[in-house]
């Protein structure tokens, strides 16, 4: 299957290497930054090309001869890039996590006969798939809770945080209002709000706060209460909230001694070097998904726990593993013809199909990524 990966960051590179090691795929990688492309070509022999993703015409040219596109472009370019991919009639697995509603492209995808799997990472992604899986098993779903975070393995630095995917997308998480479902209605709350402690055996006590991670679940799952919260080491939310509320994340230019300056540009220039996962540093991904409801008149609670760590053998970050390998598992699922429905496909739609769920979970387990399932029913 001729495949192109759009984006050669940590996650994009991990996906490209994974698929390049699979004889079923013929892979190349595109990025606008040649510094990201050189290691893939020199160390792994993966063909590369420079592409400016901000121009739909260059994206269209880059994908014209492929069977499948994996989109790992920054979120602010994601919707336009997906639109160009669909218009070109190419199947796609997308992890851009753009702020726009992906279902706005559903009719176009169906008209082109394109299968466009969106939000196909760890969360959103596996969180949606497993929620959709349980929702299909239950007669009634009462509540959904998703708690997830990528963290440095060691608590170091002022913010005790490392960004293992696009840092600008991290700031977007802290700025974008969070949609949650309360008593059957979608309500909007500030990101970084309603901080609560949560304890995990593997990493200790973390803090969880609201972020806009439900995404398509808010529309596709019939449950009266649903929330997604991001996990960080305690104290992180207060520090970032102070920056946000002071205005450092604003993209509106201000006058500074006769110069137009965007506070966001200053903030990113200062924060990104501090947040970069540096050589020799390791990360860990923690996620807990809790779905409660009823089956045959009996209450039941499903819990899925994930703790994944930096791969010292390959040097692959945990967030790149858990995000990227979910997308490559979906690519293999498409190649195996387990799913071929045209349209914009949220991961929870895959969760309705046991064969798709099993395929992706097994594929992830081959890489040491395991979701531990616990089912609790009344005695």
Superfamily of domain 2-122+318-368 in the CATH hierarchy = NAD(P)-binding Rossmann-like Domain (3.40.50.720)
Strand order in the sheet with 68-71: 48-50, 26-31, 2-6, 68-71, 91-94, 115-117, 343-345
Q: What is the pLDDT of residue 42?
A: 96
Q: Enumerate the domain spans of the chain.
A: 2-122+318-368, 126-235+275-309
Place of tokens 């969760």: 351
How far is residue 305's CA from residue 288's CA, in Å, rounded to a whole number?
5
Mean pLDDT score of the chain: 96
Share of the chain above pLDDT 70, in %: 99
The reply to whether domains 2-122+318-368 and 126-235+275-309 share a CATH topology is: no
How far is residue 34's CA from residue 30's CA, in Å, rounded to a whole number?
9
How far is residue 70's CA from residue 95's CA, in Å, rounded to a whole number?
8
Element (H, E) at 307: strand 298-309
Share of the chain above pLDDT 90, in %: 94
How far is residue 301's CA from residue 292's CA, in Å, rounded to a whole number?
4
Q: What is the pLDDT of residue 276?
A: 87
pTM of the model: 0.94
pLDDT, tens digit, 9 for 90 and up, residues 276-335: 888 889 999 999 999 999 999 999 999 999 999 999 999 999 999 999 999 999 999 999
pLDDT, tens digit, 9 for 90 and up, residues 17-63: 999 999 999 999 999 999 999 999 999 999 999 999 999 999 999 99
Using an 8 Å Cβ cutoff, are 139 and 295 in contact?
Answer: yes
Average pLDDT over residues 154-162: 92
For 105, residues 6+ apart whose C-beta sits below 8 A from its C-beta are 79, 82, 83, 86, 116, 344
How far is residue 106's CA from residue 126's CA, in Å, rounded to a whole number?
21
State the number of CA atoms in the 13 A half-sphere of 296 facing the CB: 2
95 or 167: whose pLDDT is higher? 95
126-235+275-309: which CATH architecture?
Answer: 2-Layer Sandwich (3.30)
What are the percentages of helix, strand and coil residues in the chain, rounded to 5? Answer: 35, 30, 35
pLDDT, tens digit, 9 for 90 and up, residues 200-238: 999 999 999 999 999 999 999 999 999 999 999 999 999
Q: What is the pLDDT of residue 278?
A: 86
DSSP string, 233-256: STTHHHHHHHHHHHTTT--S-EEE
């Amino acid at each position: 299957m001729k495949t192109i990966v759009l984006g050669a960051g940590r996650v994009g590179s991990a996906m490209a290497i994974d698929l390049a090691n699979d004889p079923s795929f013929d892979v190349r990688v595109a990025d606008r930054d040649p510094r990201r492309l050189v290691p893939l070509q020199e160390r792994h022999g993966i063909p590369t090309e420079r592409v400016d993703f901000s121009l739909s015409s260059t994206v269209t040219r880059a994908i014209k001869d492929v069977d499948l596109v994996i989109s790992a472009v920054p979120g602010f370019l994601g919707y336009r890039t997906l639109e160009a991919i669909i218009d070109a009639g190419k199947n796609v697995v997308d992890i851009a996590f753009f702020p726009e509603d992906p279902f706005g492209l559903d009719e176009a995808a169906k008209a082109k006969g394109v299968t466009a799997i969106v939000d196909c990472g760890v969360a959103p992604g596996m969180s949606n798939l497993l929620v959709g899986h349980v929702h299909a098993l239950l007669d009634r779903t009462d509540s959904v809770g998703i708690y997830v975070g990528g963290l440095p393995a060691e608590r170091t630095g002022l913010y005790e945080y490392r960004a293992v995917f696009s840092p600008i997308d991290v700031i977007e998480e802290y700025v974008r209002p969070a949609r949650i479902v309360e008593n059957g209605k979608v309500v909007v709350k500030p990101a970084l709000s309603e901080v609560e402690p949560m304890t995990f055996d593997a990493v200790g006590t973390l803090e969880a706060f609201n972020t806009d991670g439900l995404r398509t679940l808010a529309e596709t799952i019939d449950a009266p209460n649903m929330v997604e919260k991001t996990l960080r080491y305690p104290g992180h939310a207060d520090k970032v909230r102070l920056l946000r509320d002071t205005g450092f994340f604003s993209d509106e230019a201000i006058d500074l001694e006769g110069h137009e300056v965007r506070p966001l540009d200053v903030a990113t220039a200062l924060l990104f070097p501090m947040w970069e996962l540096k050589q020799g540093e390791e990360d860990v991904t923690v996620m807990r998904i809790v779905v409660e409801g009823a089956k045959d008149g009996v209450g039941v609670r499903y819990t899925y726990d994930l703790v994944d760590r930096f791969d010292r053998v390959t040097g692959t970050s945990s967030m790149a593993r858990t995000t990227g390998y979910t997308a490559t598992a979906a690519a293999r699922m498409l190649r195996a013809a387990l799913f071929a429905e045209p349209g914009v496909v949220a991961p929870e739609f895959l969760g309705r199909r046991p064969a798709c769920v099993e395929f992706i979970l097994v594929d992830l387990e081959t890489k040491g990524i395991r979701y531990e399932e616990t089912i609790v029913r009344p005695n």
